[in-house]
A = this chain, B = another copy of it.
Amino acid sequence: MESYENFEEKVKKISNIQQAAAVLGWDQEVMMPEEGIKPRSQQKSALTSVTHGLMTDKKLGELIEQLEDEDLSEEQRANIREVKREKKKAVKVPEDLLKKISETESEAVDAWKKSREQDDFQKFAPHLEKMVELKREYAGHIDPDEEPYKVLFKDFEPFIRFETMEEILQTLKDRLTEITEKIKESDSSLEKGAFKGQFSEEKQKKLNRELVEALNFDFSRGRLDVSTHPFTSGNRYDTRITTRYNEQDLSKSILPTVHETGHGLYNQGLPEESFGVPAGSSRDLSVHESQSRLWENHVARSKPFMKFLLPKLREKFPEQFEEVTADECYESVNQVYEDNPIRVEADELTYHLHIVVRFELGKELVNGDIAVEELPEKWNDKMEQYLGFRPENDAEGCLQDIHWGWGNFGYFPTYTVGSVLAAQIFEAASQDIDSLDQKIEEGEFDPLLEWLRENIHSKGKVLKTEDLIKEATGRKPTPEPFISYIEEKYSDLYSL
C-alpha cells in the first residue's frame, strides 16, 4: 500500500498548512494588534497559494487515479472521494480568480463597514456587484451547465441535495409564518428580563468557563477567549472557542458560549486515528451547525437546563437571581421579539424567516434574476411579507450581514439546515438516552455527549452527509422533528 501512504502523506501536508492558516485566523480575531493586519493578509494569502499548489499537484492526481482501482477500506475510499472532489475544484478554478475574489473580499469588507455605519447602501453596492460577478464566474468554472447558486451551495454542502435544502426552507417558511402570526395575535406576555441587570465581565468569565467545563469541553485541548463575533476554530488537539460579554445582559454571553461549545465538542470528538485526513475531519457546515444549535437550543434554552443553571447564577450573582425562577429564565431566553429586524438577535422561530429572505435574494442575485441596485427594496418587501414589518433603514436591513461581502453565497441556508438537523439528532438521542431531561437538569451532560461522539463526531467525513444523518437518526434529513419541537415549545410558551 505504498501509494496509499504517499497519498496520505500529501494530504496531511495540505491539512497541516490549512491548520496553520487556522491558527493565523484565530490569532487575527483574538490576539493580533491592529497594525498586524497588513502582513497577516499576505501571510494567509501565501499559505493559500501553497495549498492550492499542493492540491493541484499532478502527482497527487496520479496517486488518486491509481488508488481508485485498488481494494481499500471504507475509510480509505472516503478519504480519496473527499480529496478528489476538492482537487477537482482546485484544478478547475484559476488561481488568479481566487486571488481576485480574496482582494475583492478585503475591499468589500471595508466598504461594508462604512456603508452600514453611514446607512448608505451605495457605498457597498459596487463591491457587492463585483463580488456577485466573480462568484458567478467561479461557479461557471466548476460547472458551466448548472445554476450558479446551486454550484455555490454545493461548494459548502457537497452531500446535501439542493432539493433537500429547498424543501426544508419551504416547509419552515410556510409553517413558521403561521406560528409567528398566532403568537402576534396571542395575549400571552412572557417574562423578558431575567438575565438583565449588571454583571461584571470578570464574574461572567468565571461563570462561562465553569459552564464550558460542565459541558465536558476539554481545556487541555482547547481555549475559551473573547472576540467581537463568537466563533470556533482548530482541530481535535487544539480547539478554540470565543464568546463576548455584555455587562447588562448575561444571556448574551451564556447562549453564544454554549453554541460555540457545541462546535468545539464536535472538533474534540473527531477520531484521533484519522487526524489530518478527511475521515478525521468534521462534516460540512450544516452538520457543524447542528452540533452548536443542539447544545444551544435543545440544551441551553430548555427548562431542565435553566434548573441546572439557576443555582450557579445565584452563586455568582446572588442579588440579581435571588427572586428569579427557572421558568422566568426559560421565558426570557425564548420570547419571540416582535418586529426585530436583526437576524442574530432573533429567536429560534423567526430566525429561519430571516434566513429565507437571504436564501431567496442571494439566489436571485447570483442567478442574475435581480440587480444589486434592487436589493434594498426587495429585502424590505420580503421582510414585510414573511415577518410582517419593514426595517427602518438599510443598516437594519440588507446591510446587516457581511456574508455576501465575503462572497459566501449559498452559506445562509446551512444555518437553517443545521437547526433542522439539530432537532432531528436531538430527537433520536432523546429516544436512546433514558430520561435525558432529568440528566440535563442534574448537569449530567456526558450521556448526550457520548451519544453524539458515537453517532456523529467519530464518523468524521467517512459517510456522506445525508447518509450520516440517516445512520444516526433512522431518517434522511427532514424538517419534521424541528417543526414538532417548535410547535410544542411555542404552543406551551404562548398558550396557543
Contacts and interface: CB of A to CB of B under 8 A. Distances in A.
Contacts of A46: 13, 16-17, 20
B27 A43 contact: no
B50 A220 contact: no
A40 interface: yes
Interface in A1-60: 12-13, 16-17, 19-21, 23-24, 27, 31-40, 42-47, 49-50
A221 interface: yes
A137 to B, nearest CB: 25
A409 to B, nearest CB: 29
A430 B20 CA distance: 45
A-side interface size class: 35 or more
Contact of A39 (B24, B44, B222, B238): B238
What is the interface of chain A mostly: helix, strand, loop, or mixed?
A: helix
A337 interface: no
A237 B39 contact: yes
A31 B223 contact: yes
Interface in A158-210: none
Pick the most buried of A39, A44, A222: most chain B CB atoms within 10 A of its CB: A39
Contacts of A235: 39
Contact of A16 (B27, B43, B218, B222): B43
Of A31, A38, A49, which is in contact with the most chain B CB atoms at under 10 Å from its CB? A31
Given A16-B42, A16-B47, 15 more contacts: A16-B39, A17-B46, A19-B43, A20-B24, A20-B43, A20-B47, A23-B24, A23-B27, A27-B27, A33-B222, A36-B221, A39-B238, A39-B275, A40-B238, A50-B50
Interface of A: 12-13, 16-17, 19-21, 23-24, 27, 31-40, 42-47, 49-50, 218-223, 235, 237-238, 275-276
